[in-house]
Amino acid sequence: MDQQPAATSQVLVLHGPNLNLLGTREPEVYGHQTLAGINQALTELAAARQAALHIRQSNHEGVLIDTLHEMRGQVQGLLINPGAFTHYSYALRDAIAATGLPAVEVHLSNIYAREPFRQHSVLAPVCVGQISGFGWRSYILGLNALLDIIQNS
Ligand code: DQA
């Protein structure tokens, strides 16, 4: 029998507020890697794993929500670093839940080792899981986990 080529998995990657400043933003907390560098590493991983990424960054809650609405029928999973929205955006939480997509929440810093207000995620309950504290590698770990879920389901 002929082997069918593996279908390409479509993944939405969302970066929330202030992540456009990575590289210069509090490098002692978030590292020296830029957002462009992270996106490049993710794109290379995706290519090696038969996946295509749709990558967006916004500093605006409504734009992130609109993007989720727009992309929900076009992707099979969501990788998200919600930035500070992690800690208080019920609107973003509802939007993730509304997509019905498997979502992986990632953070560069270990949010549980930081200020009390960062130690709670209102989004985590609507995500499959969360990866926090591995710097830019959190994204790599998160994408691998998400693709394991999407491609084995
Ligand atoms: C962050 C952690 C958040 O508390 C913070 O507001 C961010 C970045 C992280 O990746 O470590 O903007 O999501």
CATH of the domain at 28: 3.40.50.9100
65 domain residue, yes or no: yes
Considering only CA atoms, which residue is closest to atom 10 of ligand 1? 107
pLDDT of residue 13: 98
Domain boundaries, position 100: 9-116+124-151
Q: Quick check: is 70 in a domain?
A: yes
Nearest to 79 by CA among 134, 6, 16: 16
Residue with tokens 């609107």: 91
Residue length, the chain?
153
14 has a pLDDT exceeding 60: yes
For the cut 60, the answer to whether the pLDDT of residue 1 exceeds it is no
Q: What is the spatial distance between Cα 68 and Cα 85, in angstroms, rounded to a whole number?
A: 15
CB 54 within 8 A of CB 78: no
**Residue 2 located in a structural domain:** no
CA–CA separation, 142 and 106 (whole Å): 6
pTM over 0.85: yes
Q: How many domains does the chain have?
A: 1
Tell whether 82 is covered by a domain. Answer: yes
What is the C-alpha separation between 87 and 85, in angstroms, rounded? 5
Report CA(82)–ligand 1 centroid distance (Å). Answer: 7
**Catalytic annotation on 107?**
yes
pLDDT over 90 at 50, yes or no = yes
**Confidence at 2, pLDDT banded by 50, 70, 90:** low
